[in-house]
């Protein structure tokens, strides 16, 4: 518990700094939110009234303080386009992005870790070469290009799954899986490629250790040596990479949700930027920042689960 409190105490200043940077960057976006609200045909008086109502005439530091006070209380303002509370919009959209991230992470682990283990066990062989080629290809392919290719192949040509859209799992479980299959695969490819390379590197380092040679000398089966002794000790760097990749995963989710028309946080941010709906963008960005911080906390906890000697 003390470690958790210390960790949170270190993260609070980080969250504050990141929120300030995000607030300033959003404020620097081109366009006038008041103009977007009243329309291009509005008079100068209407424009000034809208700016006053939205607090845009206040200095930037004062606007940030007002926003932070409301955000701490759970009030992230209202959408400039729809007038709906941003918090209510986030409640609907966060589960979509969480589901996409979980499915994508699960696919990446199922693909990347076994492939990396095989590449390490059969190093410098044909399997190792194939895995390295796949890893380099996966890291080089942009999210939007891969998403479009998957739509063309599996939706338009083979017609196995729908090209875009979303239905909740509670409403239609099978339909939900069909809609989430291609987006999850899209963000999983680059993540799996990174896990392949990290797993291979970690396993190669562990497989040359003295305790691995000792286990083999005792007659331990090769499968047990690989899965119990080698993999468990190689997991720490792999878990670290998984935690660090969460930011990239959420960044990929922004592009992927746009390509597949998923109503998640990423689509909310993109629509908010184009529509100059700054409260929506700030709310979505705040949730993403918190998600990255929580992921790092979970990663730290996983270290001690994998290796109890880490305190």
Q: Tokens standing for 189?
A: 């490819």
Q: Which stretch, 25-29, 245-249, 287-291, has highest mean pLDDT?
A: 287-291
The pLDDT of residue 4: 63
**Going by C-beta distance under 8 Å and a sequence separation of 6 or more, which residues neighbour residue 101?**
187, 246, 249, 250, 253
Q: What percent of the chain has pLDDT over 70?
A: 93
Instruction: Kindly state which CATH superfamily the domain 91-306 is placed in.
Output: MetI-like (1.10.3720.10)
pTM score of the predicted model: 0.82
Of 189-198, 232-241, 294-303, give the lowest mean pLDDT range: 294-303
Nearest-angstrom CA–CA distance, 257 and 98: 12
Task: Please identify which residue in the block is written with the tokens 């908010």.
Answer: 272
Nearest-angstrom CA–CA distance, 112 and 292: 21
Query: Domain map of the chain by residue range?
Result: 2-72, 91-306
Segment 194-215 shows an average pLDDT of: 86
Q: Residue 287 to residues 18, 94, 199: CA-CA distances in angstroms?
A: 12, 8, 30
Q: Residue 121 to residues 38, 137, 208: CA-CA distances in angstroms?
A: 64, 21, 11
pLDDT in tens, 135-157: 888 888 888 888 899 999 999 88
Q: Tokens standing for 224?
A: 């047990």
Nearest-angstrom CA–CA distance, 151 and 154: 6
Q: In the predicted model, is pLDDT for residue 311 greater than 60?
A: no
The pLDDT of residue 1: 61
Three-state SS at 77: coil
pLDDT in tens, 165-180: 888 888 888 988 999 9
């Amino acid at each position: 518990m003390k470690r958790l409190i210390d960790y949170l105490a270190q993260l609070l200043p980080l969250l504050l700094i990141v929120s300030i940077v995000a607030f300033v960057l959003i404020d620097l976006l081109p366009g006038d939110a008041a103009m977007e609200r009243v329309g291009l045909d509005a008079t100068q008086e209407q424009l000034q009234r809208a700016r006053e109502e939205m607090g845009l005439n206040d200095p930037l530091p004062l606007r940030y303080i007002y926003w932070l006070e409301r955000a701490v209380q759970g009030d992230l303002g209202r959408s400039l386009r729809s007038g709906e509370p941003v918090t209510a919009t986030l409640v609907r959209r966060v589960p979509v992005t969480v589901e996409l991230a979980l499915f994508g992470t699960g696919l990446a682990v199922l693909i990347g870790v076994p492939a990396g283990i095989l590449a390490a066990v059969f190093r410098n062989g044909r399997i190792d070469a194939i895995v390295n080629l796949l890893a380099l290809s996966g890291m080089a392919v942009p999210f939007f290009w891969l998403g479009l290719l998957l739509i063309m192949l599996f939706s338009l040509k083979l017609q196995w799954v729908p090209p875009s859209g979303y239905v909740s799992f509670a409403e239609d479980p099978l339909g939900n899986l069909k809609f989430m299959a291609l987006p999850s695969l899209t963000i999983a490819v680059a993540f799996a490629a990174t896990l392949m390379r990290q797993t291979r590197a970690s396993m190669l380092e562990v497989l040359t250790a003295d305790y691995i040679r000792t286990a083999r000398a005792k007659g331990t089966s090769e499968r047990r040596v690989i899965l119990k002794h080698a993999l468990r000790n190689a997991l720490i760097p792999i878990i670290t990479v998984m935690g660090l990749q969460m930011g990239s995963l959420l960044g990929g989710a922004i592009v992927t949700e746009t390509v597949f028309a998923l109503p998640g946080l990423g689509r909310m941010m993109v629509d908010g930027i184009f529509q100059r709906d700054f409260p929506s963008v700030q709310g979505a960005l705040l949730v993403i920042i918190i998600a990255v911080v929580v992921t790092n906390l979970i990663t730290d906890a996983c270290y001690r689960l994998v290796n109890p000697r880490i305190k």
